Chain A
Amino acid sequence: MDFRFNAEESAFRDEVREFILAEIPPEIRWQDRVVYNDDLWPSVLEARRKLAQRGWTTMHWPAEHGGQGCSPVLHLLFREEMAYRGVPEAVSYDDGPNLIGPAIIEYGSDRLKSAHLPSIAAAETFWCQGYTEPGGGTDLASVRTTAVQDGDNYIVNGQKDYVGGGARADWIHILARTNPEAPRHQDISYFVINMNTDKISLRALDEVDGRSGMLNEVFFDDLPAPAECMVGEPGMGWHIAMSVLNRQRVGIELVGRARALLDDLAVYTRETNAGGKSLFDLPHVRGKLGEMSMSIEACRVAAYRVAWMQSEDADFSHAASMSRLLSAEMWRQFTGDALQILGLYGSLEPGSKAAPLMGRLEEAYISSVATTLHLGSSEIQRTIIAQRGLGMPKE
């Protein structure tokens, strides 16, 4: 039992850090919501290409699909370092190589593999995820989007909600009902759909942080999807979606971000005068900073434990939910406490005169409203933990 990185892991982390500092355009670091930004998007694409050329986009894929077959721990380390250095997830952990790519590798046909894996690995395609629907929310299985077979096609009709990056995406991976006769979880199938069609329309949602365009509603209107766009067999959609969500729930990006913001906050409080001494030296501030560091560590340990379970081929579903729950709740608590330490300055947004730490903590705080909802609310994570982790009865 040794949580320390070994020599190989430490050397790799150094390599990742050097790559970030040398190759990731500085203007996109700490721009988590870069996807909506037209001016910065070319720099994102450039960073994605560099990452692909380095082979890191698919470092965790098996060698036979062009990956490096590296361990889940090494991949998590990569993600943590990327997050710690402020690299946006659109570069370091986006849907193509991390969600739909692994799902295609595990469940997809050979045709689907050859159609998509090379372009994902080369960072040529940008993907978004269409799971949630209006009125569905946390009840993911209440999918109402339909895909009705018609010859060689499935005709898709319906609406997806809260689709992150929908306006940028070349492809969307979705859940749709293919057999209304089957029980609730068994008639859902999984599709990959080309967004470049006039049968899909988008509506941007205005978010509470004052931005618009990052999240979209996506409408399918009699869209013919070729049958080979189905991932796995008809009715396997729920099963595939759960495996995708499990992968997604490991909360390492929040850990990396929080570690970096805490570093910044420690420097800021040491340099800020509070009645004759530094803000840092006020006992309640110092104690709070220690508590923050503790909570981040707890999340970090939980995340690496999931990676370890993945490498051992153990069932990590409820452990992934614990990682997500801890990290999302930590993020909310951490950003809220950080704003309190900053006092009146804490409410200043990025771009405002006098905003401390470029307003990053304010931005992080507002984002935390979504964090405990996205990827399954904290309440749904607890239900998964109780029922899968402890075998407690369903209602």
Chain B
Amino acid sequence: MDLSFTEEQQMLSPLAREFLEAECPKSLVRAMEADETGHSPELWQKMAELGWLGLTFPEQYGGAEFSFLDMAILLEEMGRALLPGPFFSTVALCGQAILDAGSDEQKDAYLERIAMGELVMALALTEASGQYDADGIAARCEPAADGYAINGVKMFVADGQAADAFIAAVRTADTPDPKDGVSLLLVDASTPGVAVTPLKVMGIDKQAEVAFENVQVPADSLLGPLNGGWPLIEKLLVWGAIGKCAESVGGAQAAMELAVSYVNARPAFGRPIGSFQAIQSHAANMLTDIDTSRYLTYQAAGLVSQGDFSAPEISKAKAWISNAYGRVTTRAHQCHGGISFTKEMDIHLYHKKARVNQALFGDARFHWDRIAAEL
């Protein structure tokens, strides 16, 4: 057991925090909340210059060769800043997937463009069922001239409205076990027949419905083996779950800090309300939730960095944090009182993020079920 960070890891958080405090102030967050795509190309370019958009990629693709644990550390800071935009979808999900399962040609075609900030991607996984199981993947994909034809509707596609290209999960065979007939395809958003309809999601998250109507893609669009897409989806669920954990830890920390500094300064009944035991109890519960969430996340991200995608510790982290972030923001509201229901305060932004993150990549019930399967 070694719970220390490397020197590089120790430097990553303060560097990221400094950058995000300067370049991603709450004014930008609020502007992006109102924006349809939630994507700031200027900020995106600056992140590319920092090397963030190729964080885990090999050097040959313009990457920095960091680990997934490093990615979690960066996502924690992004969650703290409530960074809007498609970093998570593009880098933490699609980039990881292409790096993991892509052919050399696909890596050449996509990774460097992602790292340079020239390509925004989104994962089109879930559909109308809103479930993360193989049953839910119904979009049909049939062989067609020189490739495949896709018909179907993907839902809850994060950053779908900003994406230049998608990784789409499609059904390529009807099999007794629905997992055995799923494939992944790289689909250019400009392909005829692709229709993106924004969904209105609470807070800063952007999601879209992405409809494919007789969308023709070439044969080399297949990411990974035909009918063998499910193992990569399992990995995507792990990257997504841990990534959301890390984001949530940073967001919860920020919400707690706002609450604590507010209650220490706000007088009522002749003293700062932070001196009341009821308020300190909220604060202690917040800190305990957050510290626990943080180390559960590091444990899970560390395991994934070592190539272990099946450890129950991953589901234990996401199940815990799915609810812990919401517990923290609820307490932060209580600490602030009525003013936190107005946009004068930032707490609502964290609250909404907590609620959206709760369901993404499996809520607590989804992961409890997985944990139980290992008992």
Contacts and interface: CB of A to CB of B under 8 A. Distances in A.
B291 A319 contact: yes
A286 B296 contact: no
Interface size range on A against B: 35 or more
Interface in B292-310: 292, 295-296, 298-299, 301-303, 306
A150 interface: no
A289 B365 CA distance: 11
A361 B296 CA distance: 27
A302 B288 CA distance: 9
Nearest to B277: A383
A14 to B, nearest CB: 16
A286 B287 CA distance: 29
Contacts of B277: 379, 383, 395
Contact of B1 (A5, A325, A386): A5
Interface string A311-352: 010000011001001100000000000000000000000000
B302 A3 contact: yes
A312 B1 CA distance: 13
A287 interface: yes
A1 interface: yes
Contact of A326 (B263, B288, B367): B288
A208 interface: no
B170 to A, nearest CB: 29
B129 interface: no
Interface in A342-395: 379, 381-387, 389-390, 392-395
Contacts of B291: 302, 305, 319, 322
Interface stretch (B41-49, B51-59, B91-99, B278-286): B278-286
A286 B302 CA distance: 27
A86 to B, nearest CB: 19
A139 interface: no
A4 interface: yes
Interface residues of B, number: 49
B216 to A, nearest CB: 42
A383 B274 CA distance: 11
Q: Is the interface of A mostly helix, strand, loop or mixed?
A: helix
Contacts of B375: 262-263, 266, 289-290, 293
A80 to B, nearest CB: 12
Given A291-B319, A383-B277, A393-B264, A305 B3 contact: yes
Given A1-B5, A390-B287, A392-B280, A287 B316 contact: no
Nearest to A302: B292
A186 to B, nearest CB: 23
Given A301-B292, A326-B288, A383-B280, A293 B371 contact: yes
B284 A286 contact: no
6 contacts: A1-B3, A3-B298, A3-B299, A308-B1, A322-B287, A383-B277
Q: Sorted from nearest, which 7 A-B pairs have the closest CB atoms? A: A290-B368, A386-B280, A382-B284, A385-B284, A290-B371, A290-B372, A266-B375
Interface of B: 1-5, 9, 69, 260, 263-264, 271-272, 274-277, 279-281, 283-285, 287-288, 291-292, 295-296, 298-299, 301-303, 306, 312-313, 315-316, 319-320, 364-365, 367-372, 375
Given A305-B3, A383-B277, 6 more contacts: A4-B306, A289-B368, A298-B296, A301-B295, A304-B3, A322-B292
